[in-house]
Amino acid sequence: MDPLLNLNTLNPIKPLGQSEAPGTINNGQNSSSFSDLLKRALNEVNMDEKIAELEARNLMTGQGTDMHTVVLAVQKADVSFNTMMAVRSKLVDAYREVMRMQM
């Protein structure tokens, strides 16, 4: 099985749209709140983890998945998770900084 044929099953990285550019305010029209963006990102990380687990399970049971596809899926899940953890750390640091501010 050609590993390049299975690349279409992986979720592509989506670029930011014009309405989601950093530093812009959209007055609530066709924009997502910050919590919606975080929920969507967490769902994508969770989906990457599930795909990696499914690919690994298919490889172990011999259901037609090759090693390259499994490695790509696991690496994508790892990068997604590490990115999510870095964002979480930055958010916690920002929260602590705001809490230290004096009014």
For the full predicted model, state whether its pTM sits above 0.75. no
Per-residue pLDDT reduced to its tens digit, 80-92: 999 999 999 999 9
Whether residue 103 lies inside any domain: the answer is yes
Whether residue 79 lies inside any domain: the answer is yes
Whether residue 44 lies inside any domain: the answer is yes
Which residues, at least 6 apart from 3, have a Cβ–Cβ distance to it below 8 Å?
A: 66, 68, 69, 72
Number of structural domains (the chain) is 1
Cα distance between residue 89 and residue 35, in whole Å:
16
Whether residue 20 lies inside any domain: the answer is no
Whether residue 19 lies inside any domain: the answer is no
Per-residue pLDDT reduced to its tens digit, 9-35: 666 666 655 444 454 545 545 567 888
What is the CB neighbour count within 10 angstroms for residue 54? 15
Q: Domain limits at 79?
A: 32-103
Whether residue 6 lies inside any domain: the answer is no
